[in-house]
């Protein structure tokens, strides 16, 4: 859209990865004169906004400079030797698969920084908070931008420490335990993944290499079927923990419930995508034979996750169950990521495109939902659904009556819920529909009857999803603020959405609508890239 | 041969390449000089001995520079100049650099400890230098006699160093325990050496390798026994299971810098000896030592990490105990490439990963000990809970310790730790030791738990108000040690190739 030469593009992509790192280091230093602000806290939170804003601007320019006529080819490519001893290269580049994720990451982190600027995190020093958020951003952006397996692993691990501290230091009840669970699960997964990556890289045809593009071109030639299977299993396990795939998901609800708002938004919006991105970028093209054998199992786990997530949400949404809103959104993520995995497991272009679309959609919608849950907690002091409903006003109102007490907040929550349940016209719809469509006609060699069953079960899952989200809307948004004729009870009205909250949320709302109405915007980018990653697949 | 026959003098007198042997020789001369100077210096001048020791070690390390150009040999057989007892090849130079550098940092740590604990100065510095000289000799030794002598020169002073806190019963007990178990291991090793000598009729590593290839049929059992027993002494030094039980008591009983010294140099001595013996002398018996070392590696890392995991943070000396047990775990990782060398096409390349890992480990482990030495000055019990709020009190030291611990754990931002582990794992995967790689992977996760728990303590808010706690400034030598190791760790994280190139080169 805007012509940029190759050098400029390369520098932009490098800047996108390096800027947050430098920003993280700078956040720990005292502010220079002129940038001191009202107090050190305000100065460092503003620093966070500036840096993430600059990164967002850089990704936006990158997206505009990206040659949209050939999204299948890797652009803005940098390839320099870093550790020749291990064959590790600083290989950066972006194509239609990674570009949307880069933009999503930069956007969500910027919105989080903006939100934190106006509502500083409750907890110890904000300097460390900003530094950790920036480090997290660097790790996630690097995950999507690198084309070297070892660098991918490095970036994948980089997010662990900042996320651990974000949960353990700034989180809510039970944070220490949740943080440990998060970090140990992910790490156990990722060391297994490392073994798989080594197996692939060391056994590559024509000598050891960790270059993703070269390995994808090889398509697993030079690896025996057993090696491919073991590698796919090992890499897949690591990624499945991150995604998370049922039954490896149990860290997720705890982590989300305990994490601060910003942590939850980034965890759901960005970090989970690293897992599914790895499936598409590494597992599918590099070990195609292995994944072909494993695909039906992956699909089975995925649909189990869909149904399990929905049932867990239904149970949490039930009156008297003491369900937590954040926990419920976390479980809904398990279901949504199940659709993403199902799309991947069909091994078809339709399915994988659906998976990538659902990835982005989930990032936008769940990011918004966690922001809203955080706002509800700020205002009412709880995210417990039962207490929310009781607080609403009175005993028999049946709901927290957000519509009445804070109409805009209630409206946004309802919007997030219907987007999440996959209403046509909003972002959540296309990804899940394409994933189901892919399952209707899976890749050659996969058992079609099995996939038809998976599709049917997943479709049932969408119904359950709709059910629990509507229950949530009913219990949180509807109800009468106070019994007619009586004086308004304390807390009958809540502060409605504030300016900075609008600023943080409106971009997500707009993009959700945009992606829902104009899916070609995204699919046009991903489809050619997916064709490259799945050579020889026609559907 | 003819030339030799014509020149009878040359057959008995050999010229010594002094440049080649300078690194261990300088350390040894320095040791003697310190010992003599201690006799004549007045008491108030004795603190000078510390800086002298540091200077000697720096000089010895610098003397490695002229050797980089190529392989040099000396003390060769007059009858066959290809068979030498001292070889300054890339392997020897890398390990010598590691040993001398680590001794230098240990000496920096010692300066405050010697003063605070009133250790006898002359003896302390002499013993340290003597042990470093032995450790520097060992990687260059190419016959079994020199190897064992070097091993003992490195070990004997360290027993004394451990027991140097005279007033402390625990210190003496630790020294005795350490001494007795070490001597037993050496004795077993010597028996192995004698078996090998009986089979091959030579002590030179390359000759042994040659002759073991064509062992007479009846002697195979003897040779295999000899090979296995020889490894024992070196395995003891690396603190491999089942020779690891001396570690925690010794580390806690010894002055802290000595524990730091043992954790790095003791291991360097052990693994370089193991590498030389296995790869240089017994390559044809890979089917004996390969599986043995693989099992040993798996057991060592599991035992070390499991014990480290069980350390309760509020127990006295838990910080040093944790470092001690985790060093056992790390020793297990160091053994992995050596075990893999038995299966590798190029054993000399596989063991490079051990050297690379040891370089990383030396820098960050000494760094962690340096911060521990600082904390130990204000909190004598040195519990892990004493590290709570370190960030509030000393931000740079706390950040450095966090970085060292993350390097040891192998998690970003400790990039060098991560890639050193990758290098080690890849040798295992390459050699087809998948099970060992899996065991190591699990161990990495276990280790992460306790390292990260410690790191989390550092950043927690202090239990008492900062004013209530006496603020102790970081002593200058400790600052230097922390800064040096910190720069090294950060530098290596930015350019891991500096250490990891050893993993790609054929060192032997």
Interface test with B, best of A86, A164, A230, A233 (most B CBs within 10 A): A86
Tokens standing for residue B484: 């040096």
The distance of B497 to chain A (nearest Cα, Å) reads 5
Q: Are residues B252 and B341 in the same domain?
A: no
Q: Residue A396 has what pLDDT?
A: 47
Asked if the structure places residue B498 within a domain, the reply is yes
A202–B452: do the CB atoms touch at under 8 Å? Answer: no
Q: Residue B23 has what pLDDT?
A: 94
Q: Are residues B249 and B339 in the same domain?
A: no
The ipTM value here is: 0.90
B448–A165: do the CB atoms touch at under 8 Å? Answer: no
Asked if the structure places residue B485 within a domain, the reply is yes
Separation between Cα atoms, residue B98 and residue B81, nearest integer Å: 29
Q: Are residues B258 and B323 in the same domain?
A: no
As a whole number, mean pLDDT of residues B381-404 equals: 90
Q: Are residues B185 and B325 in the same domain?
A: no
Q: Residue B1 has what pLDDT?
A: 45
Asked if the structure places residue B460 within a domain, the reply is yes
Separation between Cα atoms, residue A452 and residue A437, nearest integer Å: 10
Asked if the structure places residue B484 within a domain, the reply is yes
Could you tell me which chain A residue has the CA closest to the CA of B426?
A198
Q: Residue A393 has what pLDDT?
A: 47
Residues of B in contact with A156 (CB under 8 A): none
Interface test with A, best of B353, B406, B422, B433 (most A CBs within 10 A): B422
Q: CB-CB: which of B442, B461, B500 is closest to A83?
A: B500
- How does pLDDT run across B275-295, given as a tens digit for each residue? 999 998 998 888 889 999 999
Tokens standing for residue A535: 């050579």
Q: Are residues B437 and B457 in the same domain?
A: yes
Asked if the structure places residue B5 within a domain, the reply is no
Q: Supply the DSSP string of A6-70, one letter for each residue.
A: HHHHHHHHHHHHHHHHHHHHHHHSPPPTT---SSHHHHHHHHHHHHHHHHHHHHHHHHHHS-TT-
As a whole number, mean pLDDT of residues B151-157 equals: 92
Q: CB-CB: which of A86, A158, A161 is closest to B500?
A: A86
Boundary-marking domain end, from B281, B310, B328: B281
Which of B458, B447, B456, B356 has its CA nearest to residue B408?
Answer: B447
Q: Are residues B301 and B276 in the same domain?
A: no
As a whole number, mean pLDDT of residues B191-211 equals: 91
Question: What whole-number percentage of chain B has pLDDT above 70?
Answer: 95
Q: Are residues B243 and B352 in the same domain?
A: no
Q: State how beta strands A75-83 and A88-94 pair.
A: antiparallel
Q: Are residues B222 and B353 in the same domain?
A: no
Interface test with A, best of B309, B411, B421 (most A CBs within 10 A): B411
Separation between Cα atoms, residue A59 and residue A137, nearest integer Å: 13
Among A437-451, A461-475, B63-77, B463-477, where is mean pLDDT lowest? B463-477
Q: Are residues B295 and B244 in the same domain?
A: no
Boundary-marking domain end, from B228, B253, B281: B281
As a whole number, mean pLDDT of residues A283-309 equals: 94
- How does pLDDT run across A455-499, given as a tens digit for each residue? 999 999 999 999 999 988 888 888 776 555 555 555 567 788 888
DSSP state of A86: T
Range of the domain at B94: 18-281
How many domains does chain B divide into? 2
- How does pLDDT run across A136-148, given as a tens digit for each residue? 999 999 999 999 9
Asked if the structure places residue B3 within a domain, the reply is no
In the predicted model, is pLDDT for residue B89 greater than 80?
yes
Q: How confident is the model at residue B459 (pLDDT cuts 50, 70, 90)?
A: confident
Interface test with B, best of A24, A83, A125, A142 (most B CBs within 10 A): A83
Question: What whole-number percentage of chain B has pLDDT above 90?
Answer: 54
Q: Residue B7 has what pLDDT?
A: 59
Q: Residue B465 has what pLDDT?
A: 57
As a whole number, mean pLDDT of residues A442-456 equals: 93
Q: CB-CB: which of A85, A161, A230 is closest to B497?
A: A85
Separation between Cα atoms, residue B157 and residue B136, nearest integer Å: 14
The answer to whether the beta carbons of residues A272 and A243 sit under 8 Å apart is yes
The answer to whether the beta carbons of residues A71 and A528 sit under 8 Å apart is yes
Separation between Cα atoms, residue A302 and residue A440, nearest integer Å: 15
Q: Are residues B250 and B347 in the same domain?
A: no
The distance of A378 to chain B (nearest Cα, Å) reads 25
A191–B444: do the CB atoms touch at under 8 Å? Answer: yes
Beta bridge partners of B76: B84
Boundary-marking domain end, from B281, B307, B342: B281
Residues of A in contact with B406 (CB under 8 A): 161
In the predicted model, is pLDDT for residue B2 greater than 80?
no
Q: CB-CB: which of A128, A191, A199 is closest to B441?
A: A191
The distance of B254 to chain A (nearest Cα, Å) reads 34
Question: Residue holding tokens 């010895």?
Answer: B60
B441–A150: do the CB atoms touch at under 8 Å? Answer: no
Q: How confident is the model at residue B137 (pLDDT cuts 50, 70, 90)?
A: very high
The answer to whether the beta carbons of residues B323 and B450 sit under 8 Å apart is no
Q: Are residues B98 and B246 in the same domain?
A: yes
Which of B362, B364, B457, B445 has its CA nearest to residue B404?
Answer: B364
Residue with more model confidence, B2 or A112: A112
Residue with more model confidence, B269 or A539: B269
Q: Determine the distance from the C-alpha atom of residue B288 to the mean position of all C-alpha atoms in its chain, rounded to a whole number.
A: 25
Over chain A, what is the mean pLDDT?
A: 89
Could you tell me which chain A residue has the CA closest to the CA of B499?
A85
Separation between Cα atoms, residue A214 and residue A208, nearest integer Å: 11
Q: Residue B11 has what pLDDT?
A: 61
The distance of B437 to chain A (nearest Cα, Å) reads 7
- How does pLDDT run across B220-229, given as a tens digit for each residue? 889 999 998 9
Separation between Cα atoms, residue A384 and residue A382, nearest integer Å: 5
* First-last CA distance in chain B: 28
Q: Are residues B347 and B275 in the same domain?
A: no
As a whole number, mean pLDDT of residues B54-83 equals: 90
Separation between Cα atoms, residue A302 and residue B340, nearest integer Å: 38
Q: Which helix (H) or strand (E) holds B84?
A: strand B84-88
Asked if the structure places residue B13 within a domain, the reply is no
Which of B184, B140, B188, B178 has its CA nearest to residue B157?
Answer: B178
The distance of B451 to chain A (nearest Cα, Å) reads 12
Tokens standing for residue A429: 């719809």
Asked if the structure places residue B406 within a domain, the reply is yes
Counted across chains A and B, CB pairs separated by less than 8 A come out at: 93
In the predicted model, is pLDDT for residue A234 greater than 60?
yes
Which of A326, A332, A331 has its CA nearest to residue A372?
Answer: A326
Q: CB-CB: which of A85, A88, A195 is closest to B501?
A: A85
Residue with more model confidence, B473 or A55: A55
Torsion sign (Cα): A282, A91, A271, B417:
positive
Question: What whole-number percentage of chain A has pLDDT above 70?
Answer: 96
Q: CB-CB: which of A135, A157, A202 is closest to B418?
A: A157
B497–A82: do the CB atoms touch at under 8 Å? Answer: yes
As a whole number, mean pLDDT of residues B268-276 equals: 92
As a whole number, mean pLDDT of residues A361-383 equals: 90
Over chain B, what is the mean pLDDT?
A: 89
Q: CB-CB: which of A139, A187, A202 is closest to B448?
A: A187
């Amino acid at each position: 859209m805007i012509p940029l030469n190759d050098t400029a593009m390369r520098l932009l992509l490098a800047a996108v990865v390096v800027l947050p790192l430098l920003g993280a280091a700078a956040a720990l230093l005292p502010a220079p004169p002129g940038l001191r602000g009202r107090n050190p806290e305000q100065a460092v939170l503003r620093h966070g906004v500036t840096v993430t804003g600059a990164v967002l601007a850089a990704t936006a320019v990158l997206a505009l400079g990206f040659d949209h006529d050939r999204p299948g080819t890797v652009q803005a490519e940098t390839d320099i030797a870093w550790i020749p001893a291990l064959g590790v290269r600083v290989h950066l580049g972006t194509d239609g698969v990674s570009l949307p994720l880069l933009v999503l990451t930069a956007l969500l982190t910027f919105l989080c920084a903006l939100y934190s600027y106006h509502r500083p995190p409750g907890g110890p020093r904000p300097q460390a908070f900003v530094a950790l958020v920036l480090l997290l951003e660097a790790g996630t952006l690097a995950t999507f931008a690198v084309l070297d397996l070892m660098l991918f692993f490095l970036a994948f691990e980089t997010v662990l420490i900042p996320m651990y501290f974000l949960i353990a230091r700034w989180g809510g009840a039970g944070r220490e335990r949740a943080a440990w669970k998060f970090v140990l699960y992910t790490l156990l997964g990722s060391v297994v993944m490392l073994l798989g990556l080594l197996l692939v890289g060391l056994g590559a045809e024509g000598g050891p290499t960790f270059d993703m593009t070269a390995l994808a071109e090889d398509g697993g030639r030079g690896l025996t079927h057993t090696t491919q299977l073991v590698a796919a299993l090992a890499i897949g396990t690591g990624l499945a923990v991150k995604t998370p795939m049922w039954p490896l998901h149990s860290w997720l609800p705890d982590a989300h419930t305990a994490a601060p708002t910003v942590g939850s938004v980034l965890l759901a919006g960005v970090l989970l995508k690293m897992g599914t991105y790895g499936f598409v970028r590494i597992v599918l093209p590099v070990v195609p034979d292995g994944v072909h054998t494993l695909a039906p199992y992956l699909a089975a786990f995925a649909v189990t996750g869909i149904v399990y997530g929905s049932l867990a949400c239904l149970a949490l949404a039930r009156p008297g169950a003491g369900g937590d809103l954040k926990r419920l959104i976390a479980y809904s993520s398990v279901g949504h990521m199940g659709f993403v995995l199902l799309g991947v497991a069909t091994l078809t272009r339709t399915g994988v495109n659906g998976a990538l679309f659902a990835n982005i959609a989930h990032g936008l919608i769940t990011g918004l939902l966690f922001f809203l849950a955080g706002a509800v907690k700020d205002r009412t002091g709880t995210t417990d659904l039962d207490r929310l409903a009781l607080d609403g006003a009175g005993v028999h109102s049946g709901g927290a009556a957000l519509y009445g007490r804070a109409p805009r907040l209630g409206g946004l929550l309802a919007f997030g819920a219907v987007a999440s349940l996959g209403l046509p016209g909003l972002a959540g719809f296309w990804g899940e529909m394409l994933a189901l469509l892919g399952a209707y006609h899976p890749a050659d060699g996969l058992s079609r009857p099995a996939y038809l069953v998976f599709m049917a079960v997943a479709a049932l899952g969408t119904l359950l999803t709709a059910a629990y989200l509507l229950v949530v809307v009913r219990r949180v948004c509807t109800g009468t603020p106070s019994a007619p004729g009586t004086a308004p009870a304390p807390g009958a009205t809540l502060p409605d959405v504030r300016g900075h909250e609008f600023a943080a949320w409106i971009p997500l709302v707009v993009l959700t609508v945009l992606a829902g109405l104009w899916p070609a915007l995204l699919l046009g980018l991903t489809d050619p890239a997916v064709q490259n990653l799945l050579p020889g697949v026609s559907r | 041969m003819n030339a030799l026959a014509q020149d009878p003098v040359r057959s008995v007198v050999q010229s010594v390449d002094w440049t080649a042997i300078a690194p261990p020789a300088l350390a040894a001369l320095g040791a003697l000089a310190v010992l003599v100077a201690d006799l004549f210096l007045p008491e108030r001048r004795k603190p000078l001995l510390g800086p002298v020791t540091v200077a000697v070690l720096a000089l010895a390390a610098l003397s490695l520079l002229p050797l980089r150009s190529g392989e040099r040999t000396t003390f060769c057989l007059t009858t066959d100049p290809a068979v030498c007892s001292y070889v300054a090849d890339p392997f020897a130079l890398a390990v010598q650099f590691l040993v001398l550098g680590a001794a230098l940092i240990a000496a920096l740590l010692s300066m405050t400890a010697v003063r605070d604990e009133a250790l006898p100065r002359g003896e302390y510095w002499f013993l340290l230098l003597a042990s470093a000289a032995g450790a520097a000799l060992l990687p260059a030794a190419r016959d079994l006699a020199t190897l064992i002598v070097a091993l003992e020169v490195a070990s004997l002073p360290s027993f004394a160093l451990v027991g140097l806190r005279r007033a402390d019963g625990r210190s003496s007990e630790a020294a005795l325990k350490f001494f007795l178990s070490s001597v037993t291991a050496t004795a077993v090793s010597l028996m192995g050496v004698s078996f090998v000598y009986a089979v091959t009729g030579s002590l030179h590593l390359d000759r042994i390798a040659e002759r073991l290839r064509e062992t007479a049929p009846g002697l195979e059992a003897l040779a295999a026994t000899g090979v296995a027993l020889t490894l024992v002494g070196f395995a003891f030094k690396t603190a491999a299971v089942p020779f690891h039980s001396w570690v925690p008591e010794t580390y806690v009983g010894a002055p802290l810098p000595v524990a730091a010294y043992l954790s790095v140099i003791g291991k360097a001595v052990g693994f370089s000896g193991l590498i030389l013996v296995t790869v240089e002398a017994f390559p044809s018996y890979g089917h004996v030592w390969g599986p043995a070392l693989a099992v040993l590696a798996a057991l060592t890392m599991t035992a070390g990490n499991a014990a480290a995991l069980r350390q309760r943070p509020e127990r006295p000396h838990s910080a040093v105990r944790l470092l001690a047990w985790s060093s056992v775990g790390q020793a297990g990782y160091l053994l992995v490439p050596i075990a893999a060398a038995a299966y590798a096409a190029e054993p000399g390349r596989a063991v490079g990963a051990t050297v690379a890992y040891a370089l990383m480990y030396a820098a960050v482990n000494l760094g962690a000990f340096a911060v521990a030495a600082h904390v130990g000055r204000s909190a004598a019990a040195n519990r892990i809970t004493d590290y709570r709020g370190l960030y509030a009190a000393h931000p740079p030291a706390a950040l450095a310790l966090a970085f060292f611990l993350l390097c040891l754990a192998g998690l970003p931002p400790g990039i060098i730790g991560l890639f050193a582990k990758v290098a080690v794992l890849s040798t295992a995967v390459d050699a087809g030791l998948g099970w060992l790689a899996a065991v190591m992977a699990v161990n990495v996760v276990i280790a992460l738990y306790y390292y990260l728990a410690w790191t989390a303590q550092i950043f927690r808010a202090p239990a008492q108000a900062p004013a209530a706690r006496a603020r102790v400034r970081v002593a200058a030598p400790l600052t230097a040690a922390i800064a040096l190791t910190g720069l090294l760790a950060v530098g290596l994280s930015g350019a891991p190739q500096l250490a990891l190139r050893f993993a790609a080169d054929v060192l032997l």
